[in-house]
Chains A and B, each alone.
Chain A
Amino acid sequence: QQPVQSPQAVILREGEDAVINCSSSKALYSVHWYRQKHGEAPVFLMILLKGGEQKGHEKISASFNEKKQQSSLYLTASQLSYSGTYFCGTESGSQGNLIFGKGTKLSVKP
Chain B
Amino acid sequence: NAGVMQNPRHLVRRRGQEARLRCSPMKGHSHVYWYRQLPEEGLKFMVYLQKENIIDESGMPKERFSAEFPKEGPSILRIQQVVRGDSAAYFCASSPFGTVSGGTEAFFGQGTRLTVV
Contact = CB atoms under 8 A, between A and B. Distances in A.
Contacts of B106: 32, 44, 89, 98
Interface stretch (B12-20, B61-69, B80-88, B108-116): B108-116
A27 to B, nearest CB: 13
Given A44-B106, A47-B103, A47-B104, 15 more contacts: A30-B99, A30-B103, A34-B108, A42-B43, A93-B100, A95-B55, A95-B100, A96-B98, A97-B55, A97-B58, A98-B33, A98-B93, A98-B99, A100-B44, A100-B45
Interface of B: 31, 33, 35, 41-45, 48, 55-56, 58, 91, 93, 97-101, 103-111
Given A40-B110, A44-B105, A91 B42 contact: no
A103 B103 CA distance: 21
Nearest to A44: B105
Contact of A87 (B42, B58, B97, B107): B42
A43 B110 CA distance: 10
Given A42-B91, A101-B42, A103-B42, A96 B55 contact: yes
Interface of A: 29-30, 32, 34, 40-44, 47, 49, 87, 89, 91, 93-103
Contacts, number: 73
A87 B105 CA distance: 14
Nearest to A42: B108
Contacts of A102: 41-42
B110 A98 contact: no
25 contacts: A30-B99, A30-B100, A32-B105, A32-B106, A34-B108, A40-B110, A43-B108, A44-B105, A47-B104, A89-B43, A89-B106, A95-B98, A96-B48, A96-B55, A96-B100, A96-B101, A97-B45, A97-B55, A98-B106, A100-B35, A100-B42, A100-B43, A100-B44, A102-B42, A103-B42
B35 A96 contact: no
